[in-house]
Structure 1
Amino acid sequence: MELSNLNIKNGLCISLGANIDSKFGSPLDSLLVCKPKVEEIIKEWVDQSNTKKEENRKSKPNFIWSSIYETSPHGVENEQPNYLNTLVLVKSNYFPKPSNKKAKLLLKELKKLERFFGREEMPKGKKWLSRCLDLDILWWEDFHTVDEELTLPHPRFMNRNFVITPLSEILSRSQKITKFDDPKWSIK
């Protein structure tokens, strides 16, 4: 799907989730502690990627956070606690030019943050185990890349309600939308 069709072009989107305690406490505590750390990582990434000093002074990204949503685990075989999920849409006129290298630099910093919170590496062949923190880059502008480390846009984000619901919340803030109510169109 072309991201520009979703009114999200010129943005960076990162999802955050947790369903077990981290060294900072409950999943909610983890997300609360993580929020400013994610913003700082992105600000530093933008500043390091911009070579012009003039751009660095103007490069204050706009962070648009969703509410936090509680969701049941998706695609798991064993019983797990529910997740708390949120996402941030970042807008900036001074993002670095999209490239695989720069996207992987950001991913590396996000993975370091996961480990700082106490996330352990997943055993080979195991997917979707409980996590004290899970950070995923969902997309970065219209940039497309596919390799072993990173696929952008995230290949399954459109099929995940824990992404679509917070995304629709964020997008509805920037586009007026009201429910049309007419007796001729009645859904029961």
Structure 2
Amino acid sequence: MTYAKQKPELKLVISIGANIPGILGDPIRTIAAMRPHIEKSIIEWNIALNHPKIDSQNFDKSLSFQWAPLFETDPLGGPIDQPKFINTVLVVEGEGFASVTPNEKAAKCLMKKFLELEKIAGRERENIEIIWGPRSLDIDFISWGGLQINTDTLILPHPRFSERNFVLIPLAEVLSKTQGKTKRISSQNIWPE
């Protein structure tokens, strides 16, 4: 028996979080205010990758931005007295990604855009002594299709995303919207969990 070769998934997965007020307000207001800027940055980045293959006037309609609800989570690591985080996940897919093969140069370019957005929201990265400290905005590039990168400036897929409920739970919410809900089966004699 032969099976048709499936097209690779070219989803872009981004994790967004904040736990201290920034110049845009409290963490919820900051994330909400940055949402359209994050989408716009991704659209502009993708237009630059696809130009001149696409019509930029309608390009934003060819992408699907699927946002998870906001979740409040305990900080992982860092100073013990920092406030809880507000987190969400964004999954982007669509026709606009069909003609672009995930690549290191493009991924680094997008990460640079995310760092610029963090700065706009008031994030200061100067204090490198505090790891996983409080932040007014944190945008983590989790994955882009099957792309694997391991450089000083970017590692994809994100090396610790599978250990972080603040990524996994919102991501599961988004995927359950697009792939259908799962159904828990009642306990069985042969399967005690």
TM-score by length of 2: 0.86
CA-atom RMSD, angstroms? 1.8
Q: Partner residue of 2:108? A: 104
Q: 1:97 to 1:183 in 2, by over 3 A?
A: closer
Residue 54 of structure 1 deviates from its aligned partner by 3.4
Gaps of 5+ in 1: 1-7
Q: Partner residue of 1:3? A: none
Gaps of 5+ in 2: 1-7
1:114-133 correspondence to structure 2 within 5 Å: 114-133=118-137
Residue 78 of structure 1 deviates from its aligned partner by 3.0
Amino acid at match of 1:180: I
Matched, 1:138 2:142: yes
TM-score by length of 1: 0.88
Q: 1:157 to 1:182 in 2, by over 3 A?
A: closer
- In the alignment, is the contact (CA less than 8 A) between 2:47 and 2:54 conserved in 1? no
Q: Partner residue of 1:91? A: 93
Deviation digits for residues 11-58 of structure 1 (CA, Å, limit 9, x no counterpart): 001110000001111101001101111111111111111123436445
Give aligned pairs, total: 180
Q: Partner residue of 1:36? A: 36
Aligned residues with identical type, % of pairs: 35
Deviation digits for residues 154-188 of structure 1 (CA, Å, limit 9, x no counterpart): 0000100000101111111222311222564665x
Matched, 1:180 2:182: no
Extract structure 1 runs of 4+ deviating beyond 6 A.
none
Residue 97 of structure 1 deviates from its aligned partner by 2.3
Q: Partner residue of 2:12? A: 12
